[in-house]
Structure 1
């Protein structure tokens, strides 16, 4: 499945400082030249609202985000804007991505080297990459499947490994909860790769034999799947609908 993306331009002298106070990652280095940063916007309670790339193409500053959450995200950013000198507008560019030969002007996907490159230009192109297989292999969550607004905690979704959170930057919305999860608690559940025999829709509850819920099923590919699971229930007999779930071998 190809996820439709939307590009929003950011303009104004406060654009990067404005984002810096809201998102989970450090975007200020983009003020020095072309680059790309993966980040999330959280609720004050530390729960996921949106994930996106902040991009300096060399000509303009962009937010590259899934179309399905674009309107809600733009509305949220507008509410936070207050007196900041920053404007939002639709971009005329298109985003392309691939894992093969990269055209000039590409930027590496900052989440994982296996995810290849992203390019911002006049036309959209896709190569034949099996993105679902790559995401399952490398435990990369997707908006609306593994990343659920007002529900997901980003550290349980692997954002630290995906270079999507900076614990050294200043405050941002949801920072206190995220920092507490990092420094004061051990995660009891998280997103992992499992083996699946059969299939079930993403979001299907993963149950133990006694009916207790252990987690939730995500993307599936080639006999494996992503699952948000309690770590203390990994070795139990698990099912998701009619599918059987087992701990994946390293």
Structure 2
């Protein structure tokens, strides 16, 4: 029997974006090409400051005649307010979707279980306008399937489709092992850049689309080779440090900072940290307080080639 796990992610919420101008409206704001959103495809993107620093992550998912934006529940009103500043005369409507829950499902055969191909971003409606949508995680198919479901019946619906409900911490362990960020828990608001957060490697930036907010810094960082730090999965030997705890090399040099993490059953820890690439290239463990931190490069992550002497 397939061990299919699913969690309802209470830290995520939904904005509904409808209206004839939604493509033009969102296209000039976020890092990815929203023209790629169709009834069969969803995308991952970021909203940045004009200076190119992280504000929000979001999944743009098809839903009937509009879109659902999957983002951080605690910051939905802030996201809506920021987007509305750019509405002007655009024919769009932004509302908080109080009746929806975000869920994640993963495990062997997860895509087939929800009638989806194993292709990043592949999406399908789960019925009528009230039934929700399922999408293969646009960042990485190994992450599983994200679902927007009616809040009152989400758990029962998942169990009815063969999933075993597990706590959100189980999904955290899954995403941390893959090196996938979760909004402001891992990406520092108004500080982390899109490329530091992995948005390019995770299919969240389109360098061929037109202008968007923060494009100049994002493009300059890529084409001038200015990337110095990356968000990376780390293993922890010792207590899991609080987010924001500085990382140091063996000789005390700044090596980055800890982001989200959790304690494993064997007493070790797993997390994400923003790591200076110079420190990572040197190899060896880093330190955060009394804990030893070892960063890892996941298979999907592309790092700059080390500089060579002339």
TM-score between both structures, scaled by the size of structure 1: 0.90
Cα distance change on mapping 1:238 and 1:98 into 2, 3 Å: same
Residue in 1 that maps onto 2:87: 81
3-state SS of paired residue (1:83): coil
Deviation at 1:62, TM superposition (A): 1.2
1:194 maps to 2:234: yes
- Mind listing any 5+ residue stretches in structure 1 that lack a counterpart? none
3-state SS of paired residue (1:9): strand
Deviation at 1:120, TM superposition (A): 2.4
Could you tell me which of 206, 212, 218 is aligned with 2:259?
Answer: 218
1:65 maps to 2:71: yes
Contact 1:206 1:240 in 2 (8 A): yes
Residue in 2 that maps onto 1:121: 149
Q: Is the deviation greater in 205-214 or in 152-161?
A: 205-214
Contact 1:200 1:240 in 2 (8 A): yes
Q: How does 1:131-150 map to 2 (within 5 A)?
A: 131-150=171-190
1:9 maps to 2:57: no
Cα-to-partner distance string for 1:185-213 (whole Å, 9 max, x where unaligned): 24221112233211211221112345432
Residue in 1 that maps onto 2:34: 27
Residue in 1 that maps onto 2:139: 111
Deviation at 1:247, TM superposition (A): 4.2
Taking the aligned partners of 1:3 and 1:240, their CA distance within structure 2 comes to 29
Contact 1:45 1:174 in 2 (8 A): yes
Contact 1:189 1:230 in 2 (8 A): yes
Contact 1:34 1:55 in 2 (8 A): no
Deviation at 1:93, TM superposition (A): 3.2
3-state SS of paired residue (1:35): coil
Taking the aligned partners of 2:235 and 2:62, their CA distance within structure 1 comes to 39
Cα distance change on mapping 1:69 and 1:86 into 2, 3 Å: same
Taking the aligned partners of 1:70 and 1:233, their CA distance within structure 2 comes to 36
Taking the aligned partners of 2:90 and 2:222, their CA distance within structure 1 comes to 31
Taking the aligned partners of 1:249 and 1:97, their CA distance within structure 2 comes to 24
Taking the aligned partners of 1:197 and 1:64, their CA distance within structure 2 comes to 34
Contact 1:35 1:57 in 2 (8 A): no
Cα distance change on mapping 1:186 and 1:249 into 2, 3 Å: closer
Deviation at 1:237, TM superposition (A): 5.5
Taking the aligned partners of 1:119 and 1:89, their CA distance within structure 2 comes to 19
Q: Is the deviation greater in 101-110 or in 111-120?
A: 101-110
Cα distance change on mapping 1:12 and 1:159 into 2, 3 Å: same
- Mind listing any 5+ residue stretches in structure 2 that lack a counterpart? 1-6, 116-125, 127-133, 159-164, 299-310
1:246 maps to 2:294: yes
Taking the aligned partners of 2:46 and 2:233, their CA distance within structure 1 comes to 22
Residue in 2 that maps onto 1:40: 46
Cα distance change on mapping 1:238 and 1:90 into 2, 3 Å: closer
Q: RMSD over aligned Cα, in angstroms?
A: 2.3
Cα-to-partner distance string for 1:203-244 (whole Å, 9 max, x where unaligned): 211123454321101233544432111121233652112101
Deviation at 1:74, TM superposition (A): 0.8
Contact 2:104 2:145 in 1 (8 A): yes
